[in-house]
Structure 1
Amino acid sequence: MTADASEAGIRRSAPPRARQAYVTLVTNADYAQGATGLVRSLLATGTTADIVVLHTPALAEQQCSALAALGGRLVEADLLPLSDAFNARHARTALHGAAPFTKGRKPAFHTPLDNFVKLRLWQLVEYESCIFVDADAIVLKNIDRLFSYPEFSAAPNVYESLADFHRLNSGVFVARPSTVTFSAMLQRLDAPDAFWPRTDQTFLQAFFPDWHGLPVFMNMLQYVWFNLPQLWDWRSIHVLHYQYEKPWETNHPKAERLAPLIALWQAFHDGAPIPDIDSLPNPAPPAATAQAGRIGA
């Protein structure tokens, strides 16, 4: 890459204010709603790091202005310069047909190709360290200590069974911006016939095979609430990630089951009073587990 590689394809709206940054990605008005809740939640933790909103040109000026007014540093980011064949393989219909989602429902505004823009984080070389957090997440406790963690740190993709511990989830990760790394990523990403069934998540696990594991409570996936309630403890959860259905969707298929989590997200999004997280009730254990506990008592 050339000396100006950190400028190619991205446009910064303002200079940095810190040497560390939280980074999220916003690609449309729906994820702008998510980012509103995320930015408010980060500010509530008292962090002194920058909050960078990477956004594609598709995001309307109104949404950009609203996120900037909250305190976000806006960085406009183009789609990655990938081959036509790569783009065809990873278009929504093609990708979902070849690797369908069977555990949950991705909303209509989910566009797989946009996910790869997340890799432009490595162009933000004005920062020593970045923590990426998906726009469909909220941060409940300060996680600034992760800035000192090594690249590449991420939590496991646990939401159905303990067998998921071998896979990472790219909704929260620690990275060190570098144009050298970014260049290597582009070369690896668009290799002949390359197919990444879960887009950036599959790619990042392949690119960083020796990834450092974060505790699940640094990226607690919402399905744990009803699939693995024994793992849920509000006192430990630092980041709550609304994978699959989003909390701003109206009457989504799992809205009733996830009602307490949706209400919490809504409070952050609206700037309403936030309850004492540590005192929130944990989910009820499965009936069989509860019965076994009573028998063994």
Structure 2
Amino acid sequence: MADQAFVTLATNDNYAKGAMVLGKSLRNHKTSKKLVVLIGPHVSEPSRAVLGRIYDEVRLVDVLDSGDTAHLAMMKRPDLGVTFTKLNCWTLTHYSKCVFMDADTLVVSNIDELFDREELSAAPDPGWPDCFNSGVFVFRPSNETYGKLLQHCTEHGSFDGGDQGVLNSFFSDWATADIRKHLPFIYNMSSIAIYTYLPAFKQYGANAKVVHFLGKTKPWSYMYDPKLKVMRGDVQEAATHPGFLLEWWTLYSSCVVPMLHQEYGDQPFHSGCEDLPPQSEHAPPSISSAERKQRWEQGQADYMGIDSFDSIEKKLAVFLK
């Protein structure tokens, strides 16, 4: 299947790290498809070199300087710059079918069966299930579709300011036309949803195939100690199951960081992996029950600490006894 490919996008070095881990996770789970990464001009040369060792094709895309139809569209809607960049995936017409995956996703099982689906197949968004989440979707590259998408962007913009709003508006019949284009949630399991419906995660989470680290805090936003296998960071902003985060960091530290060191050579760079001081020095201050309740209501639970899945399960077990 040389004419089928997984496609992702990295606009800077941080998202390039995500793309590296995504590519390695696809390789580790024995995909038979090609791997393609679209990169922006702000991705450094060492990062490009590492991506080139993981992906079959590294393609530079920069709609701001392209001079083509995307450039003309940008003049009318400069607010949609990143969206226009992502839509470049439809220009990969040397492939007959592709699966786009955001760089903040992680594959935990082989997903080649997605290529049995048709355009536009995607999983529902946990925030509004009548919309699909554009972090994982099946599509057919087409210059005609690309042109129509750019025109749609120019005329209608995006209701959420990004690519998801544009794509849901363009493929507006996704929710009603063909249930076969609704991917099961396990192909795009958002880390946020784990904590909004814990019983379902407990029932179906073991079948997850793709984890999507939604939210402002990405896996590469943390620090990691490879020796102790512990992460540190702002746990109040974390919105994911620690096990998946640890899986991301284990793959990144063992497979990606050595390649980055080789490419950077003597140049300094921030890998995020280092020996960390004892946890007590970084432990968040204790909070009152009222403040903890308020943080829960604001969606700021301590998912890595006292409000972790394991802690909640233990508390429920005590209560039920």
Please state whether the residue corresponding to 1:167 is helix, strand or coil: strand
- Select 1:271's aligned residue among 254, 257, 267: 254
How far the C-alpha of 1:120 sits from its partner, in A, is 0.9
Residues 1:174 and 2:138 are matched in the alignment = yes
How do residues 21-60 of structure 1 correspond to structure 2 at under 5 angstroms?
21-60=5-44
TM-score (norm. length: structure 1)? 0.74
Cα distance change, pair 116–229 in 1 and its aligned pair in 2 (3 A): farther
Q: In the alignment, which residue of structure 1 is the partner of 2:94?
A: 126
Counterpart contact for 2:6–2:36, Cα < 8 Å: yes
Q: Which runs of 5+ in 1 are unaligned?
A: 1-16, 91-112, 273-281
How do residues 181-196 of structure 1 correspond to structure 2 at under 5 angstroms?
181-191=145-155, 194-196=157-159
Letter in structure 1 aligned against 2:182: G
Q: Deviations over 1:119-164 (max 9, x none)?
A: 11111111111000100011111111111201000101116xxxx3
Q: In the alignment, which residue of structure 2 is the partner of 1:238?
A: 209
**Larger RCO of the pair (alpha carbons < 8 Å, separation 6+):** 1
How far the C-alpha of 1:261 sits from its partner, in A, is 2.5
Counterpart contact for 1:54–1:74, Cα < 8 Å: yes
Counterpart contact for 1:120–1:182, Cα < 8 Å: yes
Letter in structure 2 aligned against 1:155: A
Counterpart contact for 1:222–1:241, Cα < 8 Å: yes
How far the C-alpha of 1:175 sits from its partner, in A, is 0.1
Cα distance change, pair 37–53 in 1 and its aligned pair in 2 (3 A): same
How do residues 196-235 of structure 1 correspond to structure 2 at under 5 angstroms?
196-211=159-174, 212-232=181-201, 233-235=204-206
Q: Percent same amino acid among aligned pairs?
A: 31
How far the C-alpha of 1:260 sits from its partner, in A, is 2.5
Residues 1:248 and 2:220 are matched in the alignment = yes
Distance in 1, Cα, partners of 2:150 & 2:17: 29
Letter in structure 1 aligned against 2:221: E
Q: In the alignment, which residue of structure 2 is the partner of 1:77?
A: 61
Residues 1:152 and 2:143 are matched in the alignment = no
Distance in 2, Cα, partners of 1:285 & 1:43: 34
RMSD after superposition: 2.7
Q: Deviations over 1:169-223 (max 9, x none)?
A: 10000000011111111111111x6344241101101111122211111100011
Letter in structure 2 aligned against 1:248: W
Q: Deviations over 1:86-137 (max 9, x none)?
A: 11x44xxxxxxxxxxxxxxxxxxxxxx3243111111111111100010001
Letter in structure 2 aligned against 1:25: L
Please state whether the residue corresponding to 1:225 is helix, strand or coil: helix
Letter in structure 2 aligned against 1:247: P
Counterpart contact for 1:224–1:231, Cα < 8 Å: no
Counterpart contact for 2:82–2:162, Cα < 8 Å: no
Cα distance change, pair 217–260 in 1 and its aligned pair in 2 (3 A): same
Cα distance change, pair 187–38 in 1 and its aligned pair in 2 (3 A): same
Distance in 2, Cα, partners of 1:171 & 1:214: 12
TM-score (norm. length: structure 2)? 0.69
Letter in structure 1 aligned against 2:91: Q
Q: Deviations over 1:53-99 (max 9, x none)?
A: 01112211111101111234101112242343411x44xxxxxxxxx
Counterpart contact for 2:9–2:102, Cα < 8 Å: yes
Q: Which has the larger radius of gyration?
A: 2
Distance in 2, Cα, partners of 1:269 & 1:116: 29
Letter in structure 1 aligned against 2:165: T
How far the C-alpha of 1:50 sits from its partner, in A, is 0.7
Distance in 2, Cα, partners of 1:205 & 1:144: 24
Distance in 1, Cα, partners of 2:77 & 2:94: 30
Distance in 1, Cα, partners of 2:26 & 2:254: 12
Cα distance change, pair 114–83 in 1 and its aligned pair in 2 (3 A): closer
Q: In the alignment, which residue of structure 2 is the partner of 1:114?
A: 82
Q: In the alignment, which residue of structure 2 is the partner of 1:97?
A: none
Distance in 2, Cα, partners of 1:133 & 1:189: 21
